[in-house]
Each structure stands twice: as C-alpha cells, then as structure tokens.
Amino acid sequence: MEALILYFVLFFPGVYSGGLPGVETIPFSLLRELGRTLTYTAPSLALLWYLVTDKKGFSSLRQIRLRKPDLLTLGICLPGLIIISLFVSLLAWLLSARLGIPSPPRVEGPVNAPGWIVLVFSCLGTGYLEESYFRYYLLTKFENHLPNAIFRIALSTILFSLCHMYEGPWGILNAVLAGVLLSVLFVKYKSLHGIAWAHGAYNIFVYAMGILGA
C-alpha cells in the first residue's frame, strides 16, 4: 500500500509531466526547472529516502555508498539509454506518418550558462528520484513478495512507463525499453548511483539534442 500511495503522490501520470499529449515542443524555463527542483524533486527525494531507510534516519544511507559497480553500471547504462532513444526516434521518423501516430514532443534546451547549471542539477535530481523509487525502492521492497525478478522488473517498468504518457506512444515505448534496461542492471549490480547518473546524463543528452534540433 505504501508503494502505491507513493506512486500516486509522487509520480501520478501528467501531474509533473512537463507536457501534455499532442504538444509538439516543450519549452525550457529556468524558473520552472529551479522551482520544480526545489519544491518537488528535493522534498520528494528526501521523503523517499527516509522511507527507504525504514525511518531509521539519513545516517543509514551510508549503506548506499559509492562502489566500483557504480562506474561499470554507468558505462553500460548511458550508452544503452542513448541507443534505445535513437532507435525509438528512428522508428518514430519512419512510422509516425504511416501509422498516424504523433511524434514525441521535442524538448528545448537552455540558452545560457545559468540555465545549463540549473538543468544539470534538475536532471541529476530527477535521475536520483526516479531510480530511487522505480528501481531501488520497488525492486528491493517486493523482493520477498515477488521472488522472481522478472515480475518485479515488469512492475517497475509498467509504473515507470505510465509516468511518460505525456510523451505519447513513442515516449512510452522508449520508457518501457529504458525501464527494462535500468531494472536489469539494478538487479544484477545493485547500483543505485550508476543508474541514477546514467539517467540524469541521458536527460541532459535529450536537452542537448533539442538544442541541435535533433
């Protein structure tokens, strides 16, 4: 029940999406990103980690210390996420008009240094928040109830993909494939930092592509 409540409070589809179905471009706003980071991402991450530690206090977060697998996971995950994104983008380019499916919205990146600084912190915060819940929290909390990792990965991926409904069918497909990759890597290496860094870096990559008009 706790996991379900957290999902609807923190990740209910469309609430913190940054866009709506059918929107072609999501403009970048420094004030919006800064406000979202300070009023949503940071408090949500603090609440989530408080629950992850079974309310024993943040000192117990030392168990999530940096380890060698974090760098390995980052090195595997980031290229994987980029390849998935490029593959889905290619499918969208080839099939959107033919199938009558709208293309995913293009995100606009910042145009100055302060904007990029805010964006980096925002993307890393989002990476940690989503990976802390969808991978670390769900995949460990349900380990006893769902011993088969495949079912836990499926649950995590379904909930993760629903949060990307605003990106349309192609965005959901991208989220499904990315969710499977992130979940499999977490189950194998138990690395929160590696997948969170990769997730954040991938989000920055998406904004950079928006600048280039990709």
Q: What are phi and psi of 23, to 5 degrees?
A: -75, 130
Quick check: 21 pLDDT over 80? Answer: no
Mean pLDDT, to the nearest integer, of 67-73?
Answer: 89
* Separation between Cα atoms, residue 174 and residue 81, nearest integer Å: 9
3-class SS at 26? Answer: strand
**Is pLDDT at 214 greater than 50 in this prediction?**
no
Question: Residue 97: beta bridge partners?
Answer: none
The predicted pLDDT at position 174 comes to 96
Closest CA relative to residue 135, chosen from 69, 50, 194:
194
**Which pLDDT tens digit goes with each residue over 100-128?**
888 777 788 898 999 999 999 999 999 99
The three-class DSSP label of residue 88 is helix
In a domain, 30, yes or no: no
CA separation for the pair 23, 102 (Å, rounded): 9
Domain contains 4 = no
What is d(CA 146, CA 163) in angstroms, rounded to the nearest whole number? 22
Domain count, the chain: 1
How far is 99 from 207, CA to CA, in rounded Å?
A: 27
202 in any annotated domain? yes
Residue 27 lies in a domain: no
Q: Which domain holds residue 130?
A: 69-214
Closest CA to 16 of 138, 162, 208: 162
pLDDT at 7 exceeding the cut of 60: yes
CA–CA distance, 79 with 70 (Å, rounded to integer): 15
pLDDT, tens digit, 9 for 90 and up, residues 24-69: 677 888 999 999 999 999 999 988 888 877 655 555 455 577 788 8
Residue 63 in any domain: the answer is no
Residue 103 is which amino acid?
S
Q: Please, is 146 exposed, middle or buried when counting C-beta atoms within 10 Å of its C-beta (0-12, 13-18, 19+)?
A: middle
DSSP string, 115-180: HHHHHHHHHHHHHHHHHIIIIIIHHHHTTTT--SHHHHHHHHHHHHHHTTGGGHHHHHHHHHHHHH
Whether residue 36 lies inside any domain: the answer is no
Q: Report the alpha-carbon distance of residue 112 to residue 70 in Å, rounded.
A: 31
Selection from 41, 71, 91, 86 nearest residue 178 by Cα: 86
Residue 91 lies in a domain: yes
Q: What is the pTM of this model?
A: 0.89
Q: How far is CA 71 from the centre of its chain?
A: 18
Q: Is residue 33 part of a domain?
A: no
